[in-house]
Amino acid sequence: MKEGTLTLTVVRSLNMACHAVDEVAYRPAVVMLTKRLPWFWSCQLAHLSMKLDDHWQTGYWQSPSAPPAPDGPCDACGRRAGWLEIGGHYEGLDDDSAGEEVEYLTAHPVTLCSWCHLRIDTPPESATDLEHLLRDARSRSISWRWRWHPG
């Protein structure tokens, strides 16, 4: 096996192992049982895969077919790795806001996992508004309660 193929296989395998751990660590029962424990998993294997990809220059994480790259913890639940970003400034877009008031989310982007969703009726204008949105998202994602409904 060539060295380039081997390094690419290692990078891909680490990301696949990360997904396998996610499948176990984020089952509703596991989340509920470990909720009071310190946060223990944030796609460390995928982060190692990204570092090795940079070091070995395999191009796996830079390719158009690459999976979404995990970031730090989700801003809403703080439990899972966030990989979806709302707000911020995106390169390549025209900056028509010069001289205008910049929206709060543009200056304060939010990173979310796939469980957490912001319900934005009106864009937040302050940290307090954003915290209310994040608290609401948190209550609808991992903060659910066990309920038994007799049939």
What is the residue-level pLDDT of the chain in tens, covering all 151 positions?
A: 567 789 999 999 999 998 888 888 877 777 778 777 666 677 888 989 999 999 999 999 999 988 888 888 889 988 788 889 998 876 665 555 544 456 899 999 999 988 889 999 888 999 999 999 999 998 888 655 555 556 5
Domain range annotation of the chain: 1-68, 71-151
Q: What are the tokens at 100?
A: 């205008």
In 10 A of CB 73, how many CB atoms?
Answer: 18
List Cβ neighbours of 8 (8 Å cut-off, separation of 6 or more).
58, 60
Give the global pTM.
Answer: 0.70
